[in-house]
Chain A
Amino acid sequence: MADASEKKPILQFAPFQSVVDEGFWHRLSSLKLNKLGIDDSPVPISGFYAPCSHAQVSNHLTLLSESLPTEASEQAACTSSVSLGNRNKCSVPGTIYNTNTLEGYHALDKQSLLKAEAKKIWDDIHSGKALEDSAALSRFLIISFADLKKWNFYYWFAFPALVLEPAATLVGIKPASQWLSPEEAEYLSAACREWRNSNLTADVPFFLVSIASDSSATIRHLKDWEACKGNGHKLLFGFYDPCHLPHNPGWPLRNYLTLIFIKWNIRRIHFLCYRENRGFADMGLSLVGEALISVPEVWKDLNSVPNAVGWEYNMGKKGSKCVNLAKAMDPTKLAIAAADLNLKLMRWRALPSLDLNVLSATKCLLLGAGTLGCQVARMLMAWGVRKITLVDSGKVAMSNPLRQSLYTLNDCLNGGEFKAISAVKNLKLIFPAVEVEGVVMAIPMPGHPVPSEQEESVLNDCRRLHDLINSHDVVFLLTDTRESRWLPTLFSAASSKITITAALGFDSFLVMRHGAGPFSTSNNLKTQTLSGPPESMDTASLSDNNCLQRLGCYFCNDVVAPIDSTANRTLDQQCTVTRPGLAPIASALAVELLVGILHHPLGIYAEGEHANAKISANYEQPLGILPHQIRGSLPQFSQITLVGHSSRSCTACSETVVSEYQDRGMEFVLQAINHPTYLEDLTGLTDLMKSASSFDVDWDKDDDDDDFVEM
C-alpha cells in the first residue's frame, strides 16, 4: 500500500479565492463607527460561495454586506434574507478580526489565529457537528484593518485546511461525463437539479451520491451515511466545487477528506467536484477523482490538532491585500458626483448647450458676504461654479444668521467670527469640493476721507483689491453701500472684467451687469460714447449697424458721485431694513445673469436684450434673453428689464475716469477718496448739473437713494 502510493502524485487542491464586495466594507465601517468602537474582539460573519459556473473562472468566497451581523436597529428586518436557502449563496461560517490600527493588523499572530480556527473544524469533525452542518468544514477567517480616513481596507483571508501527513495521493481524476456512464450522468444530473432547486438543500455544499447498479442516482445528507454504506452502490463524496480547473479539486475537499477518513475510516475515496453551467449540473466540467489517504500518525490523539495551512495567496504568493474605496465611499467624492449629476441632467434635455466646464472653471470674486453674498455663493455652487473668493471686513453678528444664509448662531459666539472666514468654512460644509477663499478686508470708498497716517494701509487695500479683481474672471458687487462699489467698478472697467451688481432697497432691487470697459478691444464692439437721449440709445442698441454701444455700469445713470451715504442716516436707514425675500430673489437673478453672460457668444460684449423685444440676432439662446438690468418691486410683484448705456460722464467707467486712473494710479484713487467733489468735477457732472440737463435714463427716481442696502 505504501509502495503503491509513493508512485502516485500528491493530490493538490486549488485554494479558495476571496472577493469582498464593497457593501461588506460599508457595513463594517458603520458597524465600527456606530457599535463596535474600539472593541476589536472577533466578530462572527458569513461568507458565501457557489459551485463553479464558468469554464474559465473559479467561483469565489464572497463577503457581502449581509455577511456581517446587523446593527440592532435593522435586526428584525434583515434576518430572513440570509437564512433562506439561496443556491448561489451557500453560507459559510467565518470570523473577522478587525484591528484598530495598521500596526495591530501587522502584529496579529496569524499562525495562532489559523490554528484556533482549524481546531474548531477539527472539533466539529470529531463531535459530528460537521455532519449536521457541513458548511462548517469550510470555515474561514479574515483579518482586517479599516482605515476610514483614507478609505483603505487591508485584509487577508485564511481558509484553514487540516494537513494530511503524508499528503493524500491522487489515483486519477477526470470529467464526470467520462467517469460515469451516460445513463448514470443523466440520473445524477437530475438528482443534482432536485438537490439544487430545493430550498432545504440548495445551500448544503457537501453531500453523498450513491449510484445503484441500474444507474439511478440518489443524493443524501452526510448525516445519512448509514443509509448509503454497504449496499453495493457506487459511492461518491460530492461537494460544491468553486474551482474551475480540469485536473484539480477545489479547497473544500481538503477538510472533507479528513472528515471522511476520521468519521468513517475510508482511505480510498471517490469524490465528485460538482460544478455548474447556467444553473444546471455540468458533467463535463464536474470532476470525479479517486484519492488515497495514509494513516497520519498524529491523528490518533484527538487532542493534538493537526497542522493547518490556508492563508490566501495574492498574485501567486502569500500576502495581504489592500483595496481603496474612496471613489465609492468618500462622501466628498460622492457629493461631487451627485452635484455633477444634477447639472448634467439639465444638460441632457433642457439645456444641451450648457457648458459645465466653463462654469466650473470660472473664478468668482464676491465683494460682500452678507445677505447678498451668502446667497450668491450658494447659487453659484448650485450652478456648478467651484472657485469662489469672498471679501468682507465684518464679523457675524447675532442678527445675521436669520438673513445671511451661510451663518449659524455658532458663528456669532465670542464676538463673532469674520464673515469671510465663516462663509468659507460653511460653504465647504455644504459642498466639500468647492475651492473657496475668504479675504478679510474693507473696500476703500470715495467720500470717506482717510487720515494721512492710514493712507498707506488704505492704499494697500486698494492694491489688494486690484490684484483680486485681476486674478478673477467675474466680480460680484454685493456690498451694502453705493460708494463701496465705486472702486471695484473702476478696477473692473479698467480690466474689462465681467461685473455684476445686486443692490437692494427696502422693497425693490436692482440687478445689473456692467458693460465692458472703455478701452476694451472687441471686434464686435465699436466704443462710442453716449450723446443722445434715451430713446435713441435703445434704437441704436437694437439696430444692427455694428455701432454697438457699451452698456453702462452701476454709476452710469448717476448725476452725483458716490459720497458717504451713511453719514446722515438714522439707524433704520443705516442697517438698511429690507423685506427678507428681496435678497434671495436678487441674488438668484444675479447668478442667473452671470450664467447667461458665460453662455453668450459675445460674453461681456453682449448687448442688452429686453424681455418683450424680439431678439434680432439669428441665434436663439437656450437660456433666454440676456438683459442688462433687472429691476424688481415686491409691492407690485413685478420685474422689468432695462437697458442703459455707458455715460461719458460716469464717475466709475467713463473713458475720462479710467484713463485718469491708468495714468495716475493710486494717487488718483486717493484723491477720489479724500475729495468728495473731485470725481464730479473730473467727469463734468458738475457742469452737467449746472446746465440742468439731467441725465435720467430709464428709472431715474429710484437711482438716488433706494439702492442702499443691508449686507
Chain B
Amino acid sequence: MSNISGDGTLTPGEFRVAAFAFAVRWKSSVSAFPPWSWLSPPKHPWLSNEVDGYLALENVCLLDSSEENHAGRCTGLEDPNCSGDDEPIDDATLVQSCRDDFRYYDFHVIYDSSYRVPVLYFRAYSGDGRTLLLSEFEGDLPADSSEALVKSKWTFITQETFYHGLQEHPYLNRPWYKLHPCGTSECMKLLFQSDTSIRATSGAAELYLLSWFSVVGRMVGLSIPYQMMKCENDT
C-alpha cells in the first residue's frame, strides 16, 4: 500500500503492486476477455532486476471480417509443391473447411525504467503466426481512437504513436508495437492532480494502472468496463 509521488511516475515496486491489483480487479469485473497474467521471464544478468516481470494478456481472438484480407493471405500460404496425397484416407478425421482467418492479439504491460511508467506493448498476428502490420489490423481498432482524440490532450500519445512502427520488445527481443511512454507521466500527473484526494489515498498505486489503462486500453480496443471503475469507488 503506498501513495504515489506527484510527478505521475511509479517506482518499480509500485508498478508490481499496481500490476497485481489491476489483474485481480480485471479478472473479477471484465467478462469479455481472459485474465491478465504476470510473467517472469528468465533473468538476464545485464538487465536491471528492479521489476521481475510484466503483465500479459495473450491470444485475445478476433474474427477477421474482411474478405479481402482473407483472400490475399491464402495465396501466399500454400506451398504448391508439397501436397500430401500419399496418406490414406481416414474416416475418423473430421475434415473441416475451417475458417482460419482469425486475428490474435497479445498485450503486455511493461515497466519502463527510464520513464518510470508502464508501457503498453502489443502485437497482432494471424492464424499462421505472422505478426501483422498496423495497416493490416487497424480496422479492428475502435474508430474513435483516432477520431475522437484528435482534438484532445491525448493526441500525442495516441494517434502519433500508432505510426511509430514496430519496436523491440524488451524481454522477447522481437518487434512489437508500443505506445510511446514519453507522454505518460504528464498525463498521469494531470489525472491525479485533478483529484488530490486520490493521490493521498493509500492504494493510489493500485489505482494508477487502472487509470492509465482506462486511457491507453481504449486505443487498442480494450475498454475498461464501467463496472471495473465503479467498484473502485465502492471500496
Interface residues of A (CB under 8 A from B): 10-15, 17, 19-24, 26, 53-54, 56-57, 60, 63, 65, 77-78, 80-81, 88, 105-106, 110-111, 114, 154, 156, 161, 163-164, 167-168, 245, 248, 254, 278-279, 307, 309, 311, 313-325, 327-328, 334, 337-338, 340-341, 344-345, 347-349
Contacts and interface: CB of A to CB of B under 8 A. Distances in A.
B128 interface: yes
B76 interface: yes
Contact of B128 (A65, A248, A307, A323): A323
Given A63-B129, A111-B87, A163-B90, 12 more contacts: A12-B92, A13-B93, A17-B100, A54-B61, A105-B82, A164-B92, A316-B96, A321-B128, A322-B76, A323-B77, A323-B130, A325-B131
Contacts of A20: 128-129
17 contacts: A13-B94, A17-B98, A22-B131, A161-B92, A167-B91, A248-B94, A309-B88, A314-B78, A318-B87, A322-B78, A323-B128, A323-B129, A323-B130, A324-B130, A327-B133, A334-B166, A347-B160
Contacts of A88: 37, 58
Contact of B96 (A14, A110, A328): A14
Contacts of B27: 278-279
Given A22-B125, A328-B166, A10 B174 contact: no
A22 B174 contact: yes
A22 B100 CA distance: 17
Contacts, number: 166
Interface in B166-206: 166-167, 172, 174-175, 180, 182
Interface string B47-80: 0000000000010010100000000001011110
B34 interface: yes
A609 B129 CA distance: 55
A345 B88 CA distance: 57
A56 B98 CA distance: 11
Contacts of B41: 81
B130 A163 contact: no
Interface of A is mostly: mixed
Nearest to A87: B37
A154 B83 CA distance: 12
B166 to A, nearest CB: 6
B165 interface: yes
B87 A26 contact: no
Given A322-B79, A337-B165, A19 B84 contact: no
Nearest to B31: A278
Contacts of A17: 98, 100, 127
A247 to B, nearest CB: 9
Contacts of A154: 79, 82
Contacts of A254: 92
A14 B77 CA distance: 22
Given A167-B91, A278-B34, A317 B166 contact: no
A337 B177 CA distance: 11
Contacts of A347: 160
Interface residues of B, number: 57
Nearest to A339: B165
Contacts of B165: 337-338, 340-341, 344
Interface in B118-167: 125, 127-131, 133, 156, 160-161, 163-167
B217 interface: no
Which 3 A-B pairs rank lowest in CB-CB distance, beginning with the nearest? A318-B84, A320-B82, A12-B94
Contacts of A21: 125, 129
A354 B193 CA distance: 33
B85 interface: yes
Nearest to A24: B129
B114 interface: no
A694 B98 CA distance: 87
Nearest to A15: B93
A335 to B, nearest CB: 11
B78 A111 contact: no
B44 interface: yes
A23 B41 CA distance: 14
Contacts of A110: 84, 86-87
B86 A111 contact: yes
B12 interface: no
A78 B173 CA distance: 15
A5 B184 CA distance: 66
Contacts of B175: 328, 334, 337
A497 B77 CA distance: 49
Contacts of B100: 17, 315
Contacts of A334: 166, 175
A10 B59 CA distance: 33
Given A77-B42, A316-B98, A337-B165, A348 B35 contact: no
Contact of B77 (A26, A313, A322, A340): A322
B235 interface: no
B233 interface: no
B102 interface: yes
A321 B76 CA distance: 9
A248 B96 CA distance: 11
A319 B87 contact: no
Nearest to B130: A323
A15 B94 contact: yes
Contacts of A337: 165-166, 175
A120 to B, nearest CB: 18
Contacts of A278: 27, 31, 33-35
A22 B83 contact: no
A324 B73 CA distance: 11
A452 to B, nearest CB: 58
B74 A315 contact: yes
B102 A57 contact: yes
B156 A311 contact: no
Contacts of A328: 130-131, 166, 174-175
Given A307-B88, A328-B174, A334-B175, A320 B78 contact: yes
B96 A309 contact: no
Nearest to A340: B165
A12 B129 CA distance: 27
B231 interface: no
A10 B94 CA distance: 10
Given A167-B91, A311-B87, A337-B175, A106 B82 contact: yes
Q: Which of A163, A340, A348 has the most CB of B within 10 A?
A: A348
A49 B43 CA distance: 25
A314 B77 contact: yes
B124 to A, nearest CB: 12
Contact of B92 (A11, A24, A65): A11
A105 B121 CA distance: 36
A483 B74 CA distance: 62
Given A348-B160, A349-B156, A321 B34 contact: no
A313 B156 contact: no
Contacts of B74: 315
Contacts of B84: 110, 156, 311, 318-320
Contacts of B174: 22-23, 26, 328
Contacts of B86: 110-111
A77 B43 contact: yes
Contact of A80 (B42, B81, B88, B128): B42
A20 B131 CA distance: 11
